[in-house]
Structure 1
Amino acid sequence: MEQRRQMGLAGTVAVVMGESIALGIFLTPAAMAKSLGSPMLLAAVWCGMGLIALCGALCYSELAVRFPHAGGEYVYLREGYGGRIAFLYGWMSAAVMDPGLAAALAMGATPYIFSMLGMSQQVRLWVPALILISLAANNYVGTRLSRRAMATANLLKIGVLLCLVAWAWISGHSTVANILPLVHRRAGSEPIFAAVAGATVAAFFSFGGWWEAGKIAGEVRNPRRNLPLAFTCGVLLVTVVYLLVSFAFLSVVPLDRIVSNTAFVAQFGEALFGSLGGRVLSGCVLLSVLGGMMAMTMAAPRVYYAMAKDGAFFSIFGRLHPRFGTPANAVLLQTGLALLVLCFGAFDRILSFIIFSAICFLALSAASLFRLKEPVHRWWYPAAPILFLFGCGVIDLLILMHDPIPALLGLLAVLCGDPVRHFFFSSSRAAVTPIPEQHLF
């Protein structure tokens, strides 16, 4: 049974933007602005990261068009380097990255629900699990329903963010004086190298997730047209939104009044909406987090599905639901692992373990363009993949310089997938048939 192509351009753009715009935009601009000390430097970092992400999006759009099947990076790595590297990526996704991200975002959304509604401590403990189970049910029932819910949430999210920007100026709370001078660095800023390094890593985290649209390529209608448009338009729109929101924040709360990330959100909400500001901003943050979670929990199970179809994972996860046409068992696996992670906590450590390795796989996926049988004939080639590889290398180097132990431990956890593959799936390695490039066209 083949997956149905039900995702249009709007839904695919929603995946790109939904994965990128989540909790980060409400937290990172404060720390970035305070360390950089200059609105112009802040804009330069956002634009620089947007350029790197756009180069990556161009690479991924070409790969998605050539291999428009469920799995995204798993498929690209398999076609470029073979089953071993692809399995290690799938192992990282299934065992650590996807459940860790889902659990962390669910836990991160809970305080904002608590702030809006108020609830007992006993009920609060169950909220993250209820969020994960609700999203699983939505994705289990069908792509059409989950696509509509995700697209609606992400359109609302973008609308809310743009309304915050507009209201900041219309209400008179914003003033140009708060962001002037644009270039001069404020007193108390960090040394320039450390500031740019930290801001670059924070910007990458905020942009992270744009590549997830490749995982649902098997469900996108007219992939030759829609996938490149979704990748490039999604990244460009995210860059514009981040610039607008960051400058709106700074025009309301000047740099010298920023104390911390969380205090900054409260300051901004109180400045715009008075005593109700905390609840209003909590609603905005919650909408962003849930939109990102919807996109991620839709995309992640497609990797397990693709691996199982290859014989590189347990076959039960390669089956589609006979009625809904979704990888239902893979959805249940992803949700079950995320619920398990909730029991252990320490999500920030889990995330720090996988970031370094995740960037390595991003770079390897883009570099697979150089290994395709049919050469790439695009106006941006080979400049885009070279710039993207350079950007990934710089970010990984910054991570190693800042805190090498979690990065190396994460890499070790990924390499542990090699013996797992050898003992459980070695007999299936020869069963994988390469996918012809530009299949379906």
Structure 2
Amino acid sequence: MPATALNMIDMVGIGPFVVLPLVIQIMNGPYFIWAWVLGAVVSLIDAMVWAELGAAYPMAGGSYSFLKIAYGENRWGKLFSFLLVWQTLIQAPLVVASGSIGFAQYASYLVPLEGWTLKAVSGGAVILVVLLLYRRVDSIGRIGMVLWGCVLATVGWIIWGGLSSGHYSFSLPIPEDGSFFSSVAGAGLGAASVKTIYCYLGYYNVCHLGGEIKNPSRIIPLSMFLSVFGIAALYLLMNTSVVSVIPWQEAQNSTFIVSTFIERLYGANAARVATFMVLIVAFSSLFAVLLGYSRVPYAAAADGQFFSIFAKLHPTRQFPYVSLLFLGGVAFVFSLLFKLSDVITAILAMRILVQFIGQAVGLLILHSRKKTSFPFRMPLYPLPVLLAIAVWAFIFISTGISFMLSGLTVIGLGIIAFLISTRIRKQWPFAKAETSQQT
């Protein structure tokens, strides 16, 4: 189904190809596969929240619209939707930077890169994407299909390689002493799951197109659940295939694990082909991500809910060039300054409180009002919502003190920016005060 395919395209980019060694390194042992399982479980639980909201309010905007409706379009909803867009100014460049750093990492398999040359390739990839997007682009359908085709071919090649190697054996390792939770959690499950969840993000993208989907009350929930299960199966099979050929002790130190895996099985020429395919995936995802995110501040500004400068369109080509240049410029800086592992963790730390936890709490508020009809109802409500809030809080804490503080700092600065903006425009929370003074 098209909606499910769209979700799965958005879920899989460069992520699984660069995260796999990081997860093994954090877990430092065979229990790393449980981090991928937990990532799938978190995505599935959170998808229930998105499913209820998406089926009840099938409209463009996704979380931006959900937060406004749940918290009140004329009051707190303005703040939450503003903060969502505000965080996009940081989070979106982080996503782009993660892709560009991954691009440079795999490019170093073909041409030796290190130090400033590695950063030059990473930053250069961002600049090239901005230049390609500096025009009116009406559709990314072809790019999406190229990306999805390369992803399926690459992941399928890896899985087949593991199956045909004669060493493949899928299993979920269980501690021999039976102390599953203490052993697995003690190995760094929370920190590792921060990385795997990054690879699942996108299961909700169908909600952004709710107004364009026929029978959204059925299609939106179904597409999300199929996407999570389908991608989880691919990730589990891919990880198991890799460690069936390359021992985890070796895999955890690889910077281009796919290339190494293919070279081990089929030789250097095949590895170069696989590397080229990963580079296509990485660059295509950069293009699609920056194109999509550059429209978010523009849409909010055009709606009168964000800084008006982001609503500016190019005078002749009619695209949001201010938003594109700003996000691209910040992404360029991030790609030069940060390590891939830190960028991935920061992406989660920036989004959890306002978007994921804020949205789950908003669903509880909507239910309490008893004014909304929910075509899709999650089983055992409100248990999955409460579980989602608890798990997201656990993941947020697992990002570490520095990333937690950075996320809270961005929110704090966003609140200050919101108050300044609404004060200038005499909107809530200052509109009432102004009125009362005049009377």
Say if 2:8 is the partner of 1:17: yes
Residue number in structure 2 paired with 1:406: 403
1:92 aligns with 2:87: yes
* Partner-residue secondary structure (3-state), 1:60: helix
Could you tell me how far 1:213 is from its partner in structure 2? 4.2
- Using the TM superposition, give the Cα deviation of residue 329 of structure 1 relative to its aligned residue in structure 2, in angstroms: 5.2
Determine which of 413, 418, 423 is the counterpart of 2:415: 418
Secondary structure, aligned partner of 1:262: coil
Asked if structure 1 preserves the Cα contact closer than 8 Å seen for 2:195 and 2:344, the reply is no
Among candidates 99, 103, 118, match of residue 105 of structure 1: 99
Q: Which residue of 1 is the match for residue 282 of structure 2?
A: 289
Relative distance call for 1:341 and 1:24 in structure 2 (3 A) is closer
Could you tell me which runs of 5 or more consecutive residues in structure 1 were left unpaired when the two chains were aligned. 1-8, 432-441
Local SS of the residue matching 2:305 = coil
Q: Does 1:83 align with 2:69?
A: no
TM-superposed deviation, 1:63? 2.2
1:158 to 152, 157, 162: 152
In the other structure, the counterpart of 1:368 is 362
Cα distance change, pair 56–322 in 1 and its aligned pair in 2 (3 A): farther
**1:318-357 alignment runs, 5 A limit:** 318=311, 330-342=323-335, 344=337, 349=342, 352-357=345-350
**Matched-pair identity in %:** 20
1:57 corresponds to 2:14: no
CA contact (8 A) 1:36 1:192 kept: no
TM-align CA RMSD: 3.7
The separation in 1 between residues aligned to 2:119 and 2:336, in whole angstroms, is: 14
Superposed displacement of residue 249, structure 1: 0.9
Q: Distance in 2 between matches of 1:342 and 1:267?
A: 24
Q: Which whole-Å deviations, capped at 9, do the CAs of 1:154-197 have from their partners, x for residues lacking one?
A: 23312321132123333xx24146x67954669xxx95322233
Task: Check whether the contact 2:20–2:239 (CA below 8 A) recurs between aligned residues.
Answer: yes
Equivalent residue runs for 1:25-174 within 5 Å: 25-33=16-24, 35=27, 37-38=29-30, 41-81=31-71, 82-94=77-89, 96-116=90-110, 125=120, 128-134=123-129, 137-138=132-133, 140-144=135-139, 146-170=140-164, 173-174=165-166
Is 2:390 the counterpart of 1:390? yes
* Distance across 2 between alignment mates of 1:325 and 1:236: 39
Give, in angstroms, the shift of residue 325 of structure 1.
8.3
Deviations 1:302-361 (A, max 9, x none): 321332133122335447789998656544443344345456556755554453231122
Alignment counterpart, residue 184 of structure 2, candidates 188, 192, 200: 192
Query: Once the two structures are superposed, what CA deviation does each residue of 1:270-293 show, in whole Å capped at 9, x if it has no partner?
Result: 212223354234224323323433
Given that 2:150 and 2:278 are in contact with CA atoms closer than 8 Å, whether structure 1 keeps it comes out as no
Distance 1:17 1:311, change over 3 A: same
Q: TM-score, normalised by structure 2?
A: 0.78
Q: Show the counterpart of 1:438.
A: none
In structure 2, distance between residues paired with 1:126 and 1:297: 18
User: Is the counterpart of residue 249 in structure 1 residue 242 in structure 2?
Assistant: yes
Is contact 1:36-1:185 (8 Å) kept? Answer: no
Alpha-carbon distance, 1:256 to partner: 4.8
Find the counterpart in structure 2 of residue 222 from structure 1: 214
Matched-pair contact (CA < 8 Å) for 1:168–1:248: yes
Q: Compared with structure 1, are the counterparts of its residues 15 and 176 closer, same or farther at alpha carbon in structure 2 (3 Å cutoff)?
A: closer
* Range with greater deviation from structure 2 (331-340 or 419-428): 331-340
Taking the aligned partners of 1:159 and 1:264, their CA distance within structure 2 comes to: 16
Corresponding residue for residue 238 of structure 1: 231
Shift of 1:123: 11
SS state at 2:234 partner = helix
Within 1, Cα distance between the matches of 2:112 and 2:249? Answer: 32
- Alpha carbons 1:215, 1:302 under 8 Å: kept: no
In the alignment, the residues of structure 2 paired with residue 232 and residue 37 of structure 1 have an alpha-carbon distance, to the nearest angstrom, of 30
Tell me the amino acid that sits aligned with residue 268 of structure 1: F
> Cα distance, 1:136 vs. partner?
6.5
The Cα of 1:375 is off from its aligned counterpart by 4.6
Counting matched residue pairs gives 409
The answer as to whether partners of 1:14 and 1:151 remain within 8 angstroms in 2 is no
Kindly provide the CA deviation profile for residues 241-280 of structure 1, in whole angstroms up to 9, marking residues without a partner as x: 1011011112212345445242744542321222335423
1:276 to 2:273 alignment: no
1:369–1:376 contact (8 Å) kept in structure 2: no
1:90 aligned partner, one-letter code: V
Q: Is the contact made by 1:215 and 1:303 (CA closer than 8 Å) also made in structure 2?
A: no
Q: Is the 8 A contact 2:263 2:270 kept in 1?
A: yes
How far apart are the structure 1 equivalents of 2:312 and 2:191?
Answer: 43
Structure 2 Cα separation of the partners of residues 258 and 123 of structure 1: 21
By how many angstroms is 1:70 displaced? 3.6
Q: Aligned to 1:378, which of 363, 376, 387?
A: 376
Task: Name whichever of 384-393 and 109-118 sits farther off.
Answer: 109-118
